Structure 1
Amino acid sequence: MSDPGTILERPYDPSHDLSREDRRSVTTELCEALADADEVHREALRARLVEVNMGVARAVASQYRNRGIDADDLEQVAYVGLAKAARGFDPDMGHDFLTYAVPTIRGEVRRWFRDSCWMVRPARRVQETRAQVTACVEELVQELGETPTAQHVADSLGIALEEVEEAIAADGCYHASSLESPGGNGVGTLADVLGDVDDGFTRAEEKASLAPLVRRLSDRDRETLALRYFHQWTQEQIAGQLGVTQMQVSRILTRITAQLREGLGDGLRAA
């Protein structure tokens, strides 16, 4: 068992980051001392726990850079999350402090984004679910000693897995990317890889709507329509093929197009 007084008397420079191995060693020792310390020593040990793991908080904050938020602001929020983790950690549970602290810090940063930094604001329902998910993850980490799965969170909250996944996906709504930013694989810009409006979809819908109307036409009307609009024949050529005058061909085409427009209009009204 580690003596709290002895540990706290050791010199420590918070401006110097410990190596990963040294940080884990010191953190483990602090947590062991925390389990049996009196309240006065507990507060001092929690403060030292925060100092020792500030590098962890900065590492978590760095994962949320490039979202239009100043790095110093992110780090300050991460430090708040680390302090909350130190206060909320229960050493009697026997779990590793960092396993609990990292999701708590991440949850604090995400909560700050949720409340202050939405670039594209999701539906209120999604925001509220996101808050529930974050709180639930923190509780389950303390209970399980590891980060829970989305299904575990859904079961704990009594909601559908899809709702949890939708809430987690809302993390991407904080920063709008410029169309001038690099595109896929660093080639070109984002604008270069965006799709254009495809007129083919509209034409496909029009063909699907016209097909039953065309089938109702007489054989001669269908032939006239095909010669004019599919084979690109002139009215004079069509007149020679059908054995009628050019004026009659014009009247036939006018009647057919009017009939088709009327049929399309009836279909839209029926829909």
Structure 2
Amino acid sequence: MSVASEYLQLQKQSADELVRQHAPLVRRIAYHLMGRLPPSVDVGDLIQAGMIGLLEAARNYVTDRAASFETYAGIRIRGAMLDELRKSDWTPRSVHRKVREMAEVVRQIEIETGADADDAEVMKRLGMSPEEYHAALADAASARLLSLTAPDEGEGAAALEVADPDGLGPAESIEQDGLREALIAAIGSLPEREQLVMSLYYEQELNLKEIGAVLGVTESRVCQIHGQAVVRLRARLAGWRDGGGDLESGGGKPKKTARPSSGAPRR
């Protein structure tokens, strides 16, 4: 066997060993994500996607990386699962249409008033009862949670969870950077309680029940607040999604720079 062949064989053995050692990590990440997803999502699909991510991580990992393999693999596993979720949209098209309608109404109100759109005004313009509105907010919270800037056809979604830059070309990397900046600005412009829910959900990775305990409200109320934030963000990112590349070109409220508060939430 040549030196090159021996090296490739050792490299393959090393990758196989990394996969065996870190297979439990795939299950941990999958079940952690399942705590924040609808019951219709199959954990087996997430685990399968995660194993592919783990295999790719094992093949591509370089030992002189600053991050440990577990950290590196965790990013790739999670990214593979999120990619699977984006491809497997479990939400009916009617829900997507309703979310778009709500976001457009919110955008128009905020253009006209320069203030956060009020729930009562949104309901009035949509001709919805409080029960219908709250049900629509719950749908908005679960309708492709990972996508706020998807085109109307539901394709090419840009995710809250920004992709791993190692897998992006120069153009895609610039686009992701632009989305990240627009998203940070849009989240910073949300009402304080919506900012807090988004921070606890996406940064601290708490589930709705845990967030409810922090805020002192029910899980269903957290779901409504989350839905309000998703609809408002979609409205305020309209300019970015439509090619304006600027949050304010979407006509939403002016940018704020405040980060979500870690202090006591407002009741």
TM-score computed with the length of structure 1 as normaliser = 0.40
Larger Rg: 1
TM-score with structure 2 setting the length: 0.40
Higher relative contact order (CA 8 A, sep 6+): 2
Between Structure 1 and Structure 2, which shows a larger proportion of helix residues?
A: 1
